[in-house]
Amino acid sequence: MDLHELFVADKAAIRAGWVQELQRSSGNLAGRVTQGELMKRADEMADLLVQALGSSNDQGMETVDFAVLDRFFDEFARDRVEQGFNSEETATFVFSLKRPLFQRIQERFSNDASQLAKLSWQATELVDRLGLRAVGAFQRMREAVIERQQHELLELSTPVVKLWKDVLALPIIGTLDSNRTQIMMETLLTRIAETEAAIAIIDITGVPTVDTLVAQHLIKTVTAIRLMGADCIISGVRPQIAQTIVHLGVDLGEVTTKANLADALALALKRTGVRTSDAGGSTN
């Protein structure tokens, strides 16, 4: 008798044991999924498992074709990710199968030690593989979500705004990496070419940390802007960032920096020859 036959013969008993285990661990579902849904999933997986085991021969678990189960796991993992489960909870769903399976094997082969050992080993191997696949699928789904969000973030994060005639501003929010800087630089430079703006202000108030790499990126952007014939001001330098830059020994060279956007705009207006008056506060 192999695992497949055992499964076919004792499916009802194993399923009942599994359901019991699931119910026991379902205390921490926190309303994210109903028991009914959980049972439906368990049934679905048990059916597919029997199907997959049927394709194996006596050689052990290497020959089992898990393709049918992979489709199930993908779907299962997608739901789990959406419902906000973590990988541990997802794995528990599969590993709950272990106890009922072992119980069945033990009951059936209590006087046949060699069969008991063989089947126990096969069962361990099977459940472990299933668990790994479930976690693997869960991980893939999570990564897909992260990748999508990163992509969206990249598109969201490079707005070039016009502050005044001939003055553009680019507020940066979040960490600057090479990829983002590249897109940021291209967007800003293209806009400068389009609008023939004389001054571009890069506001880094929303950049949490500045390391040598980020400083390097900023200097590159400023240099490119200067090469095109426009001026660049970096604003929103916080005290901590000023300290970091100096401690790191980064030479900002001729880059004009201002503490906040208002100062930068005032300087930009002065350079473009716009006269402002303090009295009214408004300038239009």
Partner 1 sequence: MDRIPILRMGDVLLVTIQVDLHDQVAMQLQNDLTTQIQRVGAKGVLIDISALEMVDSFIGRLIADTSSMSKVLDAETVVVGMRPAVAITLVELGVAMPGVRTALNVEKGMALLARSRLED
In angstroms, the CA 170 to CA 185 distance is 10
Q: Which is nearer to partner 1, 197 or 245 (CB)?
A: 197
Q: Which is nearer to partner 1, 199 or 267 (CB)?
A: 199
Q: Which is nearer to partner 1, 112 or 196 (CB)?
A: 196
CB 255, min distance to partner 1, A: 12
Interface with partner 1, residue 177, by CB under 8 A: no
In angstroms, the CA 130 to CA 124 distance is 10
Query: For residues 126 and 64, is the Cβ–Cβ distance under 8 A?
Result: yes
CB 188, min distance to partner 1, A: 8
The only residue of 39, 48, 163, 224 in contact with partner 1, by rule CB under 8 A: 224
CB 186, min distance to partner 1, A: 7
Interface with partner 1, residue 228, by CB under 8 A: yes
The only residue of 19, 64, 192, 234 in contact with partner 1, by rule CB under 8 A: 192
> Given the structure tokens 């992509």, which residue do they identify?
151
By the 10 Å C-beta count (0-12 exposed, 13-18 middle, 19+ buried), 36 is classed as exposed
CB 272, min distance to partner 1, A: 11
Query: For residues 189 and 170, is the Cβ–Cβ distance under 8 A?
Result: no
Dihedral-angle region of residue 229 (phi above 0 means left; psi in -120 to 50 means alpha; beta otherwise): left
Query: For residues 198 and 271, is the Cβ–Cβ distance under 8 A?
Result: yes
Binding site for partner 1 (CB under 8 A): 185-186, 189-190, 192-193, 196-198, 220, 223-230
